[in-house]
Structure 1
Amino acid sequence: MSKGEHDNENDNSAASAAGTSTAGPSGGTPSGNAPSRAETRLRRRGLPRSGVIGGILSAVALVAAGGGLVSAASLAPLSPASQHLEAPLASVPAGSSVGVCPGPARLLEGTPVGTDPQFSPKSATAKTAVSAAVLGSSAGVIPGSRLAPLKGAALVEIAKGAPAASATAAPATAAPVARTPVLLAGIVARQEVDDISVLRSDAQDNRQAAAGAVLSYVADDGDLQGSAAAGCQQPGNDLWLVGANTALGRSAVLSLTNASSTPATVSLDLFGSQGLIQAPGSRGLLVAPGSTRSIILAGLAPGQERLGVRVRSAGGPVAAVIQQSVLRGLTPGGVDFITPSTAPSDRQVVTGLDVQDPAGVAALTAKPGYADAGPALEIAVPGAADAVVEVKLYGRDGQKALPGGGVVTAKAGAVTEVSLAGVAAGTYTVAASSDISFTAAVRLTRGLRPEGASDVAYSAASARLGSQHIVPVPGGGNRQLVFGAPDGAATVSYAPITADGKIRTAATAKLTGGTTVSVPIPAEVGGSPLVGYVVSAAGDSAYGALLLGRDGRQDISTVAVAPEAAGARQVPVTLGY
């Protein structure tokens, strides 16, 4: 049998088995069924038409079966394994509390340019000290804490912390022991420092330690005579400082401190009176771990009567502070530290504004070179749109009218000044709001005689009060706690901390909405020198600041109440690959 005959026999056998005929009347395809293009191609490859039809039917059956499976799956209830799951939350242990205190105010030497300035020795009468307090637990255990320079041995070992837990567990049947809370604090009472220092406190019960520190500077002679104070700040990666001045006779030095073990690369955004300032040398500033870098802002933005600085750090967090001083000819005009304000938002509140006699302020600021010798609100708008800001002033007896009406348009990308001249003498809280995010600070001054020394201070916008804020108080002088409630009624309690480490019975200030209350600070409580307060608030939003003066001198400084300690946090965890 030839190969062709063998093939035909196989085809016919296959056709017979399938119950079909291999040829029509003309010997071609079956009658009435012309071959399709697909059949023709497959038959050319040696596949008979019956195989083609069988394959097509099988494919249709599989598709139908698959559709049935999909339909059934869509109708069947979801199994637990296929349900949508929310991203899990992971608990993050509370870290140590770190407060970076600036160094003493120092006068620049030589040409005021560059990022590594030289400073002259401090004056003969200048004194710089740090006051600090660390709150103990209800069991009377003070967290491990110390005040130390950036590098080197501790200046003050406040507490070594709780002893290690015993390896022997207590019997399960032991009855709980009733324990009266022991209210104690570890304190640092006016520790003199000659450089930047850091207050470190260990976490306790998975919560950051309630701790705080304040640096105070005083000098009776030299170009930097006056007083300055600053809260020791928790480092961050995005900070805003408002109120600097680089005009003639004004000196502004920005200090960046990296107290972490990670290098920090810092970039500065500069906001002047007319808009953003593009300054070479303001990007990629490296601050090594355990070091400080100082930048003379006049070298980046000269001749700016109003200047705001945004500090952004990639890598380690940094602390930022501006040493601002004024010299009008040969007459010292004051010195202070500008510390970070709260991040931009549509509402900012500043308390601790102290205003002198308006007639005296008007006469002084009218003289050449004294335009910045009066109180003012500085507003920085970082966005691309102008902000229409409404400013309200609250005193002891309620809201006070502003001479200009209280509504101002603040230019986008710039710093706008709102004069507070003409306001009656007293202590106030400033509340500003807008539909555009902004940040703010207040400048306050002391001294009305042009031939005499005067002083300047800056109060940054701060967050509302919560619970257990630690407010250290420098010793001596005229000291006040200032609380403001711009919206509704609030109750603020303040418990004195004395030098013997005891926390005394708290007093209470009840604030009606739209008022400001000043509380004089005594020299001692219960026979022991007062060194600080534990401040808590309830009710509507309340804000606080420490206002400091010196008897017999035109000195003034202010410190906003620092945020409360952070508790345990939870962060969402994203699963993926």
Structure 2
Amino acid sequence: MKIGRIEITGAQGTLGARLILGTVTAVGAVVAVTAAAAVPWPAVSTPPAALEVTPAPAETVLACDGPVLALGRSAENASALSVAAAATTTVGNDRGEEPESDAIAQPTIEGEAAATRYVQRPSGREPVSAAAASSATLDDADLAGFTASACRPPQMESWIAGGDTETGTTGILLIANPGDVNATVQVTVYGVAGAVTPPGAEAIPVPARTQVALPLAGLADGEQSPVLRITATGAPVRASLQSSLVRTLDPGGIDTQSAVRPATTQVIPGLRVVGDAAETEGAATIARLLSESDTTATITVTEAGSGGSPARDPEPVPLKGGAPAEVNLGGLDEGDYTVTVTADAPLVAAVWQTTGFGEDADFAWNTATPAITEATLAAVPEGDDAALSIANPSDEDITVSVAGQGDDPQDFDVAAGDTTVIDVDGGRLYTIDPGAKAVHASIGFAGESALASIALWPDAAHPRPVVVYP
């Protein structure tokens, strides 16, 4: 019995020891797990699969403004629009040929008012670049001056910072649908009351192969500094604004202005101060800005060839969201300038410049230009004193190749932060190649009674790479 008791006692002791050991082990495990949870675990992640793909080139469609229009020349109908002068177009592709063309109807305009569209198809899987631009000179009692504009691809949204509805000014908004699908357009006017969609501008029909012309006074009546946003549905459209001015009885110029795109940095090269504008006390150079958000913009003006040194102190401009602002940039000597506008929020910008305020004066709206990083074909329309302005906003010097069609390329050095101005010939095509660097460029015409500016856009024939996530 004693032995049995000993054996029984041993069994109970073994069981107790096991219970104690199990409890200690469990507590240790909990402590270990708790400690492990408190220690940062190694990050294990798999980035999503992504592939950059360059689409096959598609056809390029360019819509031109067509003839210069006049408002109110008909005694029977003061609101009627009619043709004032035909435009001369310079057009071609990088193979020395001319793209296909056909008419864009303007059924509400009196006279031979059709505009033109050009269609350039790729050669197999190889893109073919095409460019077109037009110009016109007028010397009539109600319209006088020189105007030039580039033929552009259509887009779903366009912004125009320009025009006004004061006495003596006339603005005509041109909305072209060069495609084969009908479009519907909404026009939003930004003015003293913020963003407003005028009655009748909520859904403007723009049939396929048709251009609609709308007097600015009917959209932005009473606005001295309007900014327009044109939003399309159904099909993209090309928007531009024809402006003219009469001071008392003397025509004060004419201009055709293309749309711009919002960005936090806007570069406007090719501002050309000529004639009486450099000596007058009037506001000969005015910048118009708009942001949809409250922000502060900074305007910097540099003279071409100055090494990037500011021609005037950089000027901060408080912007209230949705309200256009204008800044007088007067006091500039005769010469070529680049205006740069920066802000924390996207904005649109354009600069108005005139040759003077007397008889035979002309004016131009200089619009912001997007960056060009690859070889781009540009058309220089007919006109005197044509010049190509190339701005380099970077901190590094850049060499840009420029070649007139049929000529050997020439290299031009553009210093960091500076602008180079190159004489070009009207009625010719040029290829501008910045060698994968980003530059901003424009084509300008300047004389005592002729002023115009065309912003250059990236080549529409080359498709942009897209990122595909399988």
Question: Normalising by structure 1, what TM-score?
Answer: 0.67
Tell me the percent identity: 24
Mapping for residues 478-497 of structure 1, pairs under 5 Å = 478-488=385-395, 489-497=397-405
- Among 352, 362, 367, which residue is 1:460 paired with? 367
Q: C-alpha distance in 2, partners of 1:316/1:359?
A: 42
- Among 63, 88, 91, which residue is 1:132 paired with? 91
1:386 equivalenced with 2:348 (yes/no): no
Structure 2 counterpart of 1:197, which letter? T
Structure 2 counterpart of 1:149, which letter? A
Q: CA deviation at 1:389?
A: 0.8
Q: C-alpha distance in 2, partners of 1:87/1:400?
A: 43
1:98 equivalenced with 2:61 (yes/no): yes
Mapping for residues 158-177 of structure 1, pairs under 5 Å = none
C-alpha spacing 1:129/1:415, structure 2 compared with 1 (3 Å): same
Q: C-alpha distance in 1, partners of 2:367/2:100?
A: 27
What whole-Å deviation, never above 9, does each CA across 1:6-34 have from its counterpart, x for those lacking one?
xxxxxxxxxxxxxxxxxxxxxxxxxxxxx
1:423 equivalenced with 2:332 (yes/no): yes
Q: C-alpha distance in 2, partners of 1:92/1:357?
A: 48
The answer to whether the 8 Å contact 1:277/1:301 transfers is no
- Report the secondary structure of 1:244's partner residue: coil
* Structure 2: gaps of 5 or more residues: 1-45, 107-111
CA RMSD, Structure 1 to Structure 2 (Å):
3.0
- Among 174, 196, 200, which residue is 1:281 paired with? 200
* Structure 1: gaps of 5 or more residues: 1-82, 137-141, 153-192, 366-370, 498-502, 524-529
- Among 96, 118, 142, which residue is 2:80 paired with? 118
Structure 2 counterpart of 1:535, which letter? I
- Report the secondary structure of 1:106's partner residue: strand
Structure 1 counterpart of 2:290, which letter? A
Structure 1 counterpart of 2:444, which letter? L
Q: Bigger relative contact order, structure 1 or 2, given CA contacts below 8 A and separation 6+?
A: 2
What whole-Å deviation, never above 9, does each CA across 1:112-132 have from its counterpart, x for those lacking one?
9x9x9522442xxx4521101
Q: C-alpha distance in 1, partners of 2:463/2:67?
A: 35
1:271 equivalenced with 2:190 (yes/no): yes
Q: C-alpha distance in 2, partners of 1:359/1:428?
A: 14
Name the one with the larger strand percent: 2
Q: C-alpha distance in 2, partners of 1:361/1:280?
A: 43
C-alpha spacing 1:85/1:295, structure 2 compared with 1 (3 Å): same
Q: C-alpha distance in 1, partners of 2:434/2:51?
A: 33
Q: Considering only CA atoms, is the larger Rg found in Structure 1 or Structure 2?
A: 1
Q: C-alpha distance in 1, partners of 2:226/2:206?
A: 23
What residue number does 1:261 align with?
180
What whole-Å deviation, never above 9, does each CA across 1:283-311 have from its counterpart, x for those lacking one?
11111111111111211211211111111
- Report the secondary structure of 1:204's partner residue: coil
What whole-Å deviation, never above 9, does each CA across 1:218-252 have from its counterpart, x for those lacking one?
11233211010111000011111111211111111
Mapping for residues 42-53 of structure 1, pairs under 5 Å = none
Structure 2 counterpart of 1:562, which letter? W
Mapping for residues 31-110 of structure 1, pairs under 5 Å = 86=49, 92-109=55-72
What whole-Å deviation, never above 9, does each CA across 1:524-549 have from its counterpart, x for those lacking one?
xxxxxx61211111375321111113
Larger mean Cα displacement after TM superposition, 396-405 or 560-569: 396-405
Structure 1 counterpart of 2:400, which letter? V
Question: Normalising by structure 2, what TM-score?
Answer: 0.81
The answer to whether the 8 Å contact 2:290/2:322 transfers is yes
Q: CA deviation at 1:467?
A: 2.2
- Report the secondary structure of 2:459's partner residue: coil
1:307 equivalenced with 2:202 (yes/no): no
The answer to whether the 8 Å contact 1:549/1:557 transfers is yes
C-alpha spacing 1:103/1:522, structure 2 compared with 1 (3 Å): closer
Q: CA deviation at 1:570?
A: 6.4
C-alpha spacing 1:520/1:568, structure 2 compared with 1 (3 Å): closer
- Among 323, 332, 346, which residue is 2:264 paired with? 346
- Report the secondary structure of 2:324's partner residue: strand
What whole-Å deviation, never above 9, does each CA across 1:491-541 have from its counterpart, x for those lacking one?
1111012xxxxx210111101112122112257xxxxxx612111113753
- Among 140, 145, 162, which residue is 1:243 paired with? 162
